[in-house]
A and B are shown apart, each in its own frame.
Chain A
């Protein structure tokens, strides 16, 4: 009897644990949060910490896509190395589509890129030469936003037994460096047929630079807005240009509300953008006859 009881308990335990695991696995991970982007790192010892004159070396870059969207039209270049000391080729390479994080590929796309290098001679009897350079990446990517919001033609009035509209809402990111961070609602005039304006602030939360944002679609309850227009420097109303020192853009979207009472609806935006990162790196050419101090 005792053995039977133990077996029953063990089987029940396995069953319960199994149920628990199954539940976790089924839970959908939302990859479209945060502000992850392209991550770059050097492969071990490529390039080496010290490079000796007249020697060959390799720069192997590991690219990882931490964003929830594919990176396309990728290009990577090495800028600022003096050919008198380091000859690296090719200085510019394109990389194929790098998949974004998803259920099928939770860690995102990953790839390696290789640059062949040749070190040359030091200047006279110099002990070393530090070749500072930039690793510049350029790619295109997208960002999607969707949320359920409460709309009311009486935005500033007391709760009308429907939903509770929020004038302002903040967001921490949609799984890309470019993110909608704030949405503000302005309704006028009050009542039926009121116009409601959405003031959408897009910000670059990554370390790189967004140069261009393109609004692909803007839907409120599955219907397009009456008008959507970027403010500030633009190519056209749906394309914004961002400067190096102001990495944000304001999008104003307007529509007329049909209902006289508050209701919940979906709000969705799709954007394309161009992204550029520049990381400072260094190659160290050292004289083999000298004990280096670094």
Chain B
């Protein structure tokens, strides 16, 4: 029973490990039992592998825990492999040797790649393995070789290749990135260790065996294709575990909601796009990203609105990425408005006519800056079965209300029409347009004038450290319903501004709420007085922004350039001057709340 029989029983058509064990031991019953235990462990590994993969994707920043789980699965996989060898394989403990050697090399010796060290370490390790093989008359050799498999999978899982891409700048194709990042390695390992008759169901067995064959091809391709041996290894270049995990997470993030490049690649090959394969892959990648944006905005795949959204997103992508901004961490209370359906809402009722029924919901407003807010309300009923049956209700609590307090509350009552009785299930949608909302953002920049390289070498890291750590180089605003993001500088994200270069001001409006920006009356920037061309119409002030027909995440504003700045900033009398700019938008915002109502008519 070799490695091939354990991992690739399906490919060879071999009956299975248990039978082999039984043949060797002469105890078929024991063999079956062992096979059963090993099979169970393999299935457990498959399940744990899937959970680990899902956790890694979902957990976001908890890379440390993901790594710990990887190590746990590493140990577990070794145990599962040893179980697959069967109880009669007395030297199965030898699996642990390569695993132990790897752990010592990685954690104890810091993954040193120094040639002399490697020569000693590998020499000693293989020497010991050889000795074990001789002592056990070759019995331990199989187990020793199998022990390299968990090592290989651990490396693949914790992100060796993404690290090589980011840290060592190895040119790895998007295809390989996708192949590595979108593979639940430990689940795959579990499948590989399953026997050919993993289940009593022949279809399941066929699928398992097919997965094994494809998986081995996958693995071979991943290992060979990136041509990793071209990397120049030196001690210190290899990462710690956190760097591995970080690199992997960042690369996944970068790939976003795009189609797995491997899938794109296969689909393009099937489509016969041999001559423009890369172009085809790129197109599929872009389209899948646009699709994910439009789906996330609530459009039904294939609908007219969805197609419009795709067209519009393509236009946006041609315009370039919108300007980034972040929520101001010091503003804990943003301006928010929401409808709340209370406990006493008459979701289902029996009525004699179905007419003039009052449906009250609460409107909760958080208005920490005590803005004067005007609300316009409406409500609409749509029959759930017959969507064409749609009609307006009447807001009897006042269609237009004004609030200015910090936490005003009111009840919005929608009355069903008196000329159209409700009968059955309806979607009742409350709408409120909040008029004249004001939201502001701020942006800090350090003006250094025209300094020599010596000054910059000394000061720039210091300025970055104390003023622009993390994301604070980006504009910051309250997480209101909408936020204006803007960037300014020699490049818009560089917070240190040198006077000898031109500067760019770019901005966009981001919809942060669940509703829709329905009007933008104006935008204004403060602090740009004396900045030459930035004061031209449309740059630091603008009225009435044309909105796109479809809701989207960001609305880009005009980008402007200048080469001038006020004298106190172009030639500061101290080493540098820190200055904050402010941008403000005035806009209308539409929020909606949908709830189901049911009316059962009393029949006489």
Residue positions of A touching B, CB distance < 8 A = 77-85, 91-92, 122-129, 132-134, 136, 209, 243-245, 278, 280, 290
Contact = CB atoms under 8 A, between A and B. Distances in A.
B454 A244 contact: yes
A244 B457 contact: yes
Given A127-B331, A244-B458, A134 B478 contact: no
Interface in B569-586: 573-576, 578-580, 582
Contacts of B576: 79-80
Interface of B: 328, 330-333, 368-369, 440, 442, 444, 446, 454, 457-458, 462-463, 466-467, 478, 573-576, 578-580, 582
Given A82-B444, A134-B466, A127 B330 contact: yes
27 contacts: A79-B575, A79-B576, A80-B446, A80-B576, A80-B578, A81-B578, A84-B580, A85-B580, A91-B573, A122-B330, A123-B331, A123-B580, A124-B331, A124-B369, A124-B440, A124-B478, A125-B331, A125-B333, A125-B478, A126-B328, A128-B330, A132-B467, A133-B466, A134-B462, A134-B575, A244-B458, A245-B457
Contacts of B578: 80-82
Nearest to B369: A125
B181 to A, nearest CB: 38
B150 to A, nearest CB: 45
A94 to B, nearest CB: 14
B336 to A, nearest CB: 13
Contact of B574 (A79, A85, A124, A127): A79
Given A80-B467, A84-B580, A136 B332 contact: no
Nearest to A280: B466
Contacts of B478: 124-125
A243 B452 CA distance: 13
B579 A82 contact: yes
A184 B532 CA distance: 60
B574 A278 contact: no
Given A79-B576, A80-B467, A126 B454 contact: no
Given A84-B579, A124-B478, A134-B466, 17 more contacts: A77-B574, A79-B575, A79-B576, A80-B446, A80-B467, A80-B576, A81-B578, A85-B580, A91-B573, A91-B574, A92-B574, A124-B331, A128-B330, A132-B466, A133-B466, A209-B458, A290-B332
A92 B573 contact: yes
A243 to B, nearest CB: 7
Name which of B330, B369, B574 has the most chain A CB atoms within 10 A of its CB. B330
Q: Which 6 A-B pairs have the closest CB atoms?
A: A244-B458, A126-B330, A132-B466, A125-B368, A84-B580, A82-B578
B454 A243 contact: yes
Contacts of A92: 573-574
Contacts of A278: 462
A279 to B, nearest CB: 11
B388 to A, nearest CB: 46
A82 B466 contact: no
Nearest to A282: B466
Contacts of A126: 328, 330-331
Contacts of A136: 574-575
A133 B328 CA distance: 20
A80 B580 contact: no
Contact of A80 (B368, B440, B458, B463): B463
